[in-house]
Amino acid sequence: MSLLAGTFWANQSPAFAYLVSNAMEGLIDGYSYFAPVAIYLILTPTLIKLMISETRGKSFAKHTIKWYAVARLIACVYGVIWTVIAFDIPIYSSLDGFKDAIKESVTSLGYMLTHSEYFYAIYASIITTAVALRFTRAANTLGKGVELIEYLGQFIIPLIPFVMIAVGAYVTILPEILDKSLGPDAASIRANSVSIFGFSIDITSSLGMLFLYVLGALLTGFVSAIWHLGLIVLVKRAKPDFSLREYFSVYWIKVYPMLWATSSEALATPLNLNMVKKFCPTIPDEVRQFVIGTGSFLNINGTIVNVFIMTGLVAAILNIDISLVQLLLSIPIVFLIGYGVPGMPGELILFAGPMALSMGVSPELMPVYLSLYIGLQIGLPDSFRTGANSTDECLCAIILNKRY
């Protein structure tokens, strides 16, 4: 309803739509200041609590991080395959300068590893944990931060409906914004239609662009749901008495709406911690808190999938030729940058530039590419990938608990 309200308002007042589009860019920029703090405050107490719980905690922590890394790598390949199928992307591309684009992407990634505030938050959390473990009283005090996070979960009020109004306004005037950005050559650069699974969508009108936006979001939701079902199969193998009916009625239905509404793994972590405890009371607290806490930024496979889907979608809109080979070669970049994702709405902004370089986007098209990539990933796509990320963590906790 909020999306439709934003669409209606934009049609009635173009000035409002342009105001929203400018405000959204500022809103996305604001996440980069809050996200590092959220990562630090959530990760630090879970690390400390796990480390002081049992001597085997360190081994389990390493196993969990490794398990998440392998799952992310598989998710990258999984996302590439679905993107290629959905947008009918060829195996090879005739683009020139691809090696230079990859070189620039790797350079960009290296810069982020040493300059990203998200990585700084992770480094700071690890250092704080190492120092705190030398002081028993400090470690016990900081370790209680997890309980505080869980308690604060009940006070979170979803604000995303207001953001959805803004998204509706932005997408409504997107064809006009696109034409103005591309200039006189707009007709020869941008596509008149985009095909998904062979179904063609006319994007020259506001209604067509809005339909494309919704369909792209549903594609993310569908692919993420298939991934989630795969995890359920693994859970059934690890825990034969796992009840699918109880999972959806006791846990999923009470967590997913919150995740979908807030589009934030970090904000919804307290609720997720609490509901996993109710659904799986036999899982030790240190396992639940570590798997869910670190999963808020390590287990982002829905986001990883969406990175590739958005790449295919924007490339189709701008008639940019990309290939399966290019997407596969971008996997290391996506894999590593994913460790700096904050678990907040608009998190795909981190991938926009490196993916543009990896796909060989020309300097002339770069601003338009980034604008589309960042704008179209907010709202519904964010909701679907966030819901997938965090509900996956419950299944991951069950699987990893067996190892613990």
pLDDT in tens, 269-307: 778 888 888 888 888 888 888 888 778 777 889 999 999
Cα separation of 225 and 71, whole Å?
Answer: 15
Report the Cα 138 to chain-centroid distance in Å: 33
Is 376 or 392 the better-scoring residue by pLDDT? Answer: 392
pLDDT tens readout for residues 322-342: 888 888 888 888 887 776 565
Question: Smallest Cα–Cα separation from 296: which of 308, 288, 284?
Answer: 288
pLDDT tens readout for residues 209-232: 888 888 999 999 999 999 999 999
Question: Smallest Cα–Cα separation from 269: which of 111, 281, 277?
Answer: 277
pLDDT at 83: 96
- List Cα–Cα distances, 227 to 71, 293, 301, 373, in angstroms: 11, 21, 9, 23
Q: Which CATH superfamily is domain 2-403 in?
A: Sodium:dicarboxylate symporter (1.10.3860.10)
Domain locations in the chain as residue ranges: 2-403
Mean pLDDT over 36-58 rounds to: 63
Mean pLDDT over 176-205 rounds to: 74
